[in-house]
Chain A
Amino acid sequence: MTSLRILAASLAITTAMSTAAMAQTELSFWYHGAGNPVEREILVGIIDDFNASQADWKVVLQEFPQAAYNDSVVAAAVAGNLPDIIDVDGPVMPNWAWAGYMQPLQLSEGALDGFLPGAIGEYNDKVYSVGLWDAAIAMYARKSTLEKFDIRVPTLEEPWTREEFDEILATLKASGEFEYPLNLGMADQGEWYPYAFGPFLWSFGGDMVDRTTYETAEGALNGDAAIAFGEWWQSLFTNEYVPGTSQDMADHETGFIDGDYALQWNGNWVAVNTLNALGDDVLFLPAPDFGNGPKIGGASWQFGVSATSANPDGASAFIEFALKPEYLAAFSDAIGLVPATAEAAALTKNYAPGGALEVFYGLSEAQAMLRPVTPGYVFEALEFRKALSDIANGADVVDALDAATDAINADIARNNNYAVAN
């Protein structure tokens, strides 16, 4: 009898509690960073702050491992189970927006003032996503190495030119002190290729697709500029300046610190570790200029609202809430990413004026260029990666670029030029 009463009482209490919580409408939120306790802590902090700050909405977090994240979203979209708030990789956003997975954000006027362009996800003149951070790539070098070989330290105003860069690689190679003069990270065969090497192509004057129409890659990916890029790219491997596609991931991660590679083209996320290992001998240099200015890729993971969300106003309210400088700074301090605004940068350990990574903010601000903002980018990225791998492995440059161009054009045609369905 007593046990039954206890059961009844506990049932009543649970019901009462859940009704109390029901006063706030639940908003589900999917995030790609499962397995990273630091990210989770900050994110949960933001969510708790938001849930406590108002009475209408209650955000509930669900995390996924990064490798399975995009598949999960696609599967959920097909099944009609998308959450209210989704996390999306910048260059993929147009694909999802076009497919009808996402809707434009409802942010108040001026909410994105002062944001780095790479942190704002715009497609068809509407903002679909916004990032709390951006990422940046730099040429890692050691001051001591540059001095030893009498190499000029480049600046954003005066980056290395192509001739200068080739000479530097030749000098470093000839010295025989390094296994390879430059580490490009060929081991990392994912989005890294278009993100890290696309900017070289852009600096040569080529592109993965003609950005005026986004309807063809002819002339952009196989024009004279792109062919010049391809020949230069191949020369890196025939001259053995750079380890090839079979590079070991472990060598990629430790090679620069161990002194096997003299230079390294890598992102700001390894900067803290490198600084810890090498101290102030390490330099973060701008990209070489191949004719059209130094370029790096912009846009990292961003937050957006799913098209099927019943409460887009609440979802947007959460995203706007999360854009506060202190949260931007917290993420940057925890995972080393570039905070999306100068105001937030001033609050961080590393990106504040005089901070160890301050230079990355400048690199991002001055050189960042978005990867093609089109739903077809997902396909273009794959073809670009294949062409670059093939050229590195000795394929005919023009044929490899032609093949990628044809494949991209066929994909665009298959999708009615990626026209927005009405």
Chain B
Amino acid sequence: MRPSQTKSLQSNTLAGWLMSGPALVLITLFLIVPFLLAFWFSFTNQRLISPNPTQFVGTSNFEQLLGMGTLVLEPETAADGSLLVSESGELSYPRVRDFTRNNPDFQHLNGMREWFGWDWGNSRVLVLARDLVFMKALTNTLFFVAVVAPLQSLIALLLALMINQKLRGINIFRTVYFMPVVVSIVVVSLLWRFIYDGRSGLLNNLLQFLSFGHFQPVDWLGNPDTAMWAIIVMSIWQAVGFHMVIWLAGLQNIPLTLYEAADIEGASSWQKFRFVTWPGLRNTAVLILVVITMQAFALFSQIDVMTNGGPLDSTQTLVFQAVQRGYGQQNIAGGSAISVLLFLIVLTISMVQRYLTRER
């Protein structure tokens, strides 16, 4: 009986295509075509608004984004050859702009900006970037992913373990933890802007109350050192409920008999988690890690609503820059190039994750 049924389903290809048709058309139109277009645009000088025809420019968009150089600055010396030392005992160096602006001897560094540097003996080694904002967006995004992916999965797991108990009213907790997921991220971002307000925000007030007034208010979003962390905390708070539910589904798939067997063997709670729960969650863990990583790379709305990439580029991200360039700056080609790079990064990381978590 069974094989013939399969055959009849397979032979009825027209119905199959018709049924998947609407979805296929939509996916092609809104995912595949835009992706291919972005790929093509990133090799042209496509503009959002322009009377000029689009031209093929090769890889210059990518060279512009990824261009880097190094510069070694020698300390300034007095007329007699001795090193100039400031009052605080520091050596003084010439300004980078003397090398990067219209300096015929350093043509290859023209237009670059200082990214980071370190001391090497008396000289100073600097790494310059052609597109500093992009570089900061790249490092910020990687930092965000590196913090959020493990932290968010872990917190979600802890929450799932907590609410996976048969207690009265546990559904209330499940609902409360899940609630931020249902609220629009834009609304959540606006709310957290009030919470983080440097003058009279809830967080500052709370910390002042708890420290009996010893805590000095911090301008959480206005300070380059705290802005990214502020975004990280609220992002995790907002998204953790969703992954908690996935963990919960995984937890509830583990047969109770295994726990009963473990109980009979006299296993401690930790042993039960280590040898029953965790192996049972393996597939869920892989899914969650991949999903969170991809979602974290797409960080945009929070930035758009809360910081606009500032202060001092400390919260620039790749997606925010792609949108900013494509629409704000009317430079579709530049935005597309960032999207293509982002695609390659996410693809690589996902494949590495797949490889590391493969069934052995």
A residues at B contact (CB < 8 Å): 71, 74, 77, 95-96, 98-101, 189, 244-246, 248, 251, 378-379, 382, 389-390, 393-395, 398-399, 402-403, 406, 410-411, 414-416, 420-421
Report whether A246 and B311 are in contact in the complex, using a CB–CB cutoff of 8 Å. yes
Nearest to B310 among chain A residues (CB) is A389
Nearest to B97 among chain A residues (CB) is A402
Report whether B52 and A415 are in contact in the complex, using a CB–CB cutoff of 8 Å. yes
Report whether A390 and B51 are in contact in the complex, using a CB–CB cutoff of 8 Å. no
Nearest to A77 among chain B residues (CB) is B49
Report whether B51 and A244 are in contact in the complex, using a CB–CB cutoff of 8 Å. no
Chain B hits for A406, CB < 8 A: 111
The docked-state distance in angstroms from the alpha carbon of A421 to that of B51 is 6
The docked-state distance in angstroms from the alpha carbon of A411 to that of B113 is 17
Additional A-B contact list (7), CB under 8 Å, known A74-B48, A394-B312 = A246-B219, A246-B311, A379-B330, A390-B312, A393-B310, A415-B52, A421-B51
Within 8 A of A (CB), among B38-92: 45, 47-52, 64
Report whether A416 and B52 are in contact in the complex, using a CB–CB cutoff of 8 Å. yes
B222 proximal to A (CB < 8 A): yes
**Size of the chain B interface, CB-CB below 8 angstroms:** 33
Report whether A399 and B52 are in contact in the complex, using a CB–CB cutoff of 8 Å. no
B residues at A contact (CB < 8 Å): 45, 47-52, 64, 95-97, 101, 111, 113-114, 132, 197-199, 219, 221-222, 224, 308, 310-313, 327-331
**Main SS at interface, chain B:** loop
Report whether A398 and B97 are in contact in the complex, using a CB–CB cutoff of 8 Å. yes
Nearest first, the 7 closest Cβ-Cβ pairs linking A and B are A246-B222, A421-B51, A393-B311, A99-B49, A100-B51, A393-B312, A406-B111
Chain A hits for B101, CB < 8 A: 402
Nearest-neighbour CB distance to chain A for B127, whole angstroms, equals: 15
Chain A hits for B50, CB < 8 A: 99, 415
Report whether A390 and B329 are in contact in the complex, using a CB–CB cutoff of 8 Å. no
Nearest-neighbour CB distance to chain B for A320, whole angstroms, equals: 27
Chain B hits for A402, CB < 8 A: 97, 101, 113
The docked-state distance in angstroms from the alpha carbon of A77 to that of B48 is 11
The docked-state distance in angstroms from the alpha carbon of A246 to that of B327 is 24
Nearest-neighbour CB distance to chain B for A339, whole angstroms, equals: 32
Compute the total of residue contacts between A and B using a CB distance below 8 Å: 72
Partner of B199 from the list A245, A251, A390 (CB cut-off 8 Å) is: A251
Report whether B52 and A421 are in contact in the complex, using a CB–CB cutoff of 8 Å. yes
The docked-state distance in angstroms from the alpha carbon of A41 to that of B233 is 47
Partner of A189 from the list B113, B308, B329 (CB cut-off 8 Å) is: B308
Report whether B330 and A378 are in contact in the complex, using a CB–CB cutoff of 8 Å. yes
Report whether A244 and B222 are in contact in the complex, using a CB–CB cutoff of 8 Å. yes
The docked-state distance in angstroms from the alpha carbon of A113 to that of B137 is 51
Report whether B328 and A414 are in contact in the complex, using a CB–CB cutoff of 8 Å. no
The docked-state distance in angstroms from the alpha carbon of A389 to that of B308 is 10
Nearest to A392 among chain B residues (CB) is B311
The docked-state distance in angstroms from the alpha carbon of A246 to that of B313 is 14
Partner of B198 from the list A189, A246, A421 (CB cut-off 8 Å) is: A246
Chain B hits for A246, CB < 8 A: 198, 219, 221-222, 311
The docked-state distance in angstroms from the alpha carbon of A245 to that of B111 is 27
The docked-state distance in angstroms from the alpha carbon of A379 to that of B331 is 10
Q: Could you give 10 example pairs across A and B, Cβ below 8 Å?
A: A71-B327, A74-B49, A95-B49, A100-B51, A245-B311, A395-B312, A402-B101, A411-B331, A415-B52, A421-B51
Chain B hits for A420, CB < 8 A: 51
Nearest-neighbour CB distance to chain A for B84, whole angstroms, equals: 20
Chain A hits for B47, CB < 8 A: 414-415
Report whether B48 and A403 are in contact in the complex, using a CB–CB cutoff of 8 Å. no
Chain B hits for A410, CB < 8 A: 64, 111
Nearest to A96 among chain B residues (CB) is B49
Nearest to A73 among chain B residues (CB) is B49
The docked-state distance in angstroms from the alpha carbon of A411 to that of B50 is 12
The docked-state distance in angstroms from the alpha carbon of A421 to that of B50 is 9
The docked-state distance in angstroms from the alpha carbon of A406 to that of B47 is 19
Report whether B328 and A382 are in contact in the complex, using a CB–CB cutoff of 8 Å. yes
Chain B hits for A421, CB < 8 A: 51-52
Nearest to B111 among chain A residues (CB) is A406
Contact A399 B49, CB 8 Å, known A246-B221, A414-B331: no
The docked-state distance in angstroms from the alpha carbon of A244 to that of B328 is 23
